[in-house]
Amino acid sequence: MRALQILAGPEALTRIRAEGWQPDLFSHLGAAAGGAKWIMLAGLDKLLFGGWLARRSTPLIAVGASIGAWRLACAAQRDPLAALNRFTRAYVDEQFYQRGDGRIEVSREAQRILAALLGETGADEIPQHPWLRLNIVAARGLAGIDGSGSRREKLALARAAFANTRSRQALGRHLARTVIHAGDTPVALQDDGFATHVLRLTADNVAAALTATAAIPGIIDGIASFPGAPAGYHLDGGLIDYHMDLPLAEPAGLMLLPHFSDRITTGWLDQFLPWRRPRHLARTVVLAPTAELVASLPARRIPNRKDFMRYAGRDAERVAHWHAALAASEAMAGDYADWLAAGAPATRIAPLR
């Protein structure tokens, strides 16, 4: 059974066939939102962040939202494997809730996990990484999206969801994009209907940026005021950029996207719109689990944040399911390593649709 599938957009596949598979082929690294689904990528992250990508000779522009940005924050530390291990332990083995827990408790747990991820030195190391340029994407609420949890905000969120059924551009009247970036310049994006404001990532705002990008509305508290950004409540970046279907401008290299699925959804709200298709995948390469690997997991699916409700009162069963996914992620890493050892033949790569 193969554990890993490798999928490439048409431009990416042409370049790989011409130039071969090597780290400097990629100018961008993407990391999707998706809550507990990230567990399926833990083993592959260790191989990529801890070794293979470090062989590159040029800077790498890393772009992530929500939990994806947290994964990249591990990659951007001096010892990415230690950071990933701290993150995995805090998220998988130490995250528990009691019946009746809500926004206060979940927000508190998120801060505990973030502190473990950063450790004692992560906030200083991330903005100064020698070759990985982290770009953290957050959404800034407009038109009444203010983090209050009030009836007014719920109506504002409903209006945003309705606007998104018309077009992504219409959603841009309800949400704006904030990119908090390491290095001298942020990721370059073409105009896609969302006002985009950029801020420099510093040791002083790393924690706030990572808090903002993971702030699921009504579940985790966001950032009410972000120094240097226009006024507005900052929340989950996945609302705009869910699976990194990004309108990338220069540089014109490829984007590597280790992903928990072979399906790419542009914004979080787009998952409910079967007619909304991704538009910017020509230069993207996806590394994802195979259907056979997913079918081998407990309940034949990867973890997700609904597991906290699904396994309520049965935490040991949930943790066992999540550890099975961690083991499967190691199988993905092993499959990738075997493919590299065989010369990374392009015949293994399938078209990304």
Residues present in the chain in total = 353
- Burial class of residue 150, CB neighbours in 10 A (0-12, 13-18, 19+): exposed
- For 5, 112, 145, 281, 292, the CA distances from 192, given in Å and listed in that order, are 30, 35, 21, 15, 36
pLDDT on residue 227 = 85
DSSP 37-52: GGGGGHHHHHHIIIII
Dihedral sign from CA coordinates of 50, 242, 157, 100: negative
Residue with tokens 């193969």: 2
Q: For the chain, where are the alpha helices, taking DSSP H only? A: 10-19, 42-47, 67-75, 80-88, 103-118, 122-125, 151-166, 168-171, 206-213, 291-295, 307-310, 315-341
pLDDT on residue 225 = 86
113: Cβ–Cβ under 8 A, 6 or more apart, which residues? 87, 90, 91, 95
- Neighbouring CB atoms inside 10 A of 158's CB total 10
Q: What is the largest CA-CA distance in the chain?
A: 58
pLDDT on residue 16 = 97
Mean pLDDT in each 10-residue stretch from start to end of the chain (353 residues)?
96 96 96 98 98 93 98 98 98 95 97 98 98 98 94 96 97 98 95 96 97 96 91 97 94 92 97 96 97 96 96 96 98 98 97 91
Dihedral sign from CA coordinates of 35, 31, 80, 196: negative
- For 40, 97, 219, the CA distances from 307, given in Å and listed in that order, are 14, 11, 15
pLDDT on residue 226 = 87
